[in-house]
Structure 1
Amino acid sequence: MTGMPMIDTPSPNFDTRSLPISMLVLHYTGMPDAASAINWLASPESKVSAHYVVTEDGQVIHMVDEGDRAWHAGRSFWRGVTDINSASIGIEIVNPGHEWGYRPFPQTQMGSLIPLIHDIIQRHAITRGNIVGHSDIAPARKQDPGELFPWHQLARLRLALPRPTKNLMDPHWTDGGFMLALERFGYDIADPKAAVVAFQRRFRPELIDGEICGECRAILLALLLPKPRGDE
């Protein structure tokens, strides 16, 4: 358990893990306000939960013990793992989301999220490549935490993979070759366009069109190298 100050609001929605913790999944709540989201995650009727919630004013809500399997990922896949709930810690970040008025994540919120992430990944030895968004693990179903989430801020602190920006080179893969590379990186490519959109949302958020281009190919190639170089 982290030593950060937090509010205990237990959720009954958890069960037993069947895998060791190796991932951290970031979500947005996608509800009109924090109270609605926390109440829903704490309700037995919802059948969903998260280990933590971080509000826009920086409060950290603890809902499920890290040793237990929270129900936050749903049907998902990352790097060969299909029971993401068993393998991950889930953090819900309060934001109305695309349905209720998506907006930037305030620095007060990030100021609490960053040390929480740091603490979790240190204790569980989670690698940067396994710090992912909900849209990364469920590209056909989810958009969160979305294109406004400041992944670059985490990357500078080595809390997420950077967007590669240096020495980029287009490998000129065919579209099929790009999809195979995307699968090798970690994505579920069962819905190819959704997988490309999810990749763009994370690593090229200024243009999310689902089209495979030279820039996307160059970014993906750099990510597959041992040390992607970006804005760290």
Structure 2
Amino acid sequence: MSEPGRAGYRVTASRRVFGGRVCAVRIDDVELPGGHTGQREVVEHDPAVAVLALDGPVPGESGLDPAGLVAASSVVLIEQYRHPMRRRLWELPAGLMDVDGESPLVTARRELTEETGLAAGSWSVLVDGASSPGFTSEVVRIFLARDLHEAGRPEATGDEEAEITVVRIPLAEAVAAALDGRIVNVMAVAGILAAHAALLSGARLRPATDEPIDLIHAGDPVEEPGVPDAPALTGAVVWTVAPAGTG
């Protein structure tokens, strides 16, 4: 994480108003840069991991061009019931980091096997994300898993897990489904499009390690005077928007 930059956003009070099995809710009183104080409701949630399990030739070893790599690749998806949506969704194998002391990579390996019966010999970090940073602290790491092989799926521990359907589909079809709305789970959309982009561009992915998902500023929200700026982006041009009625 970057060091604190602009001043403001000091938390003057914080109280938890709900604590459940999956999440908790707190209300923060926050000093805003203009001197006002506002309240922010925050859903506290464990980090999560997801796995884009990719079957196909390895870049640099097959002699295929990027388009050929995409055409020869397939991804593993699961169909699972999601109660808040009241429907079954196409998703990546995924799960919460709710086991004490378990790293993101260990959780990802476990979830891949539990939900699909597969294991992978090669792991990389595909993308990190903040699920919905306007109201929740949940962050997610999506791994790219390759060199897939059967590992045996453990017996399901719940009704929803028992109803999981596992499929393999061409990567190109997964991309089309993400773009036309058949796949709407955000982690699945992000993982599919990122894997497609990585194959086409030849981007070098980060190695998968046991390091934590470091996206949330770890400073004391009460004592520290500021928060980090967003990381620098090459080629970014600041777009200044004039107040309404001044143009």
With the shorter chain as reference, the TM-score category is under 0.3
More strand by share: 2
Larger C-alpha radius of gyration, 1 or 2? 2
Greater RCO structure (CA 8 Å; 6+ sep): 2
Structure 2 length as normaliser, TM-score?
0.23
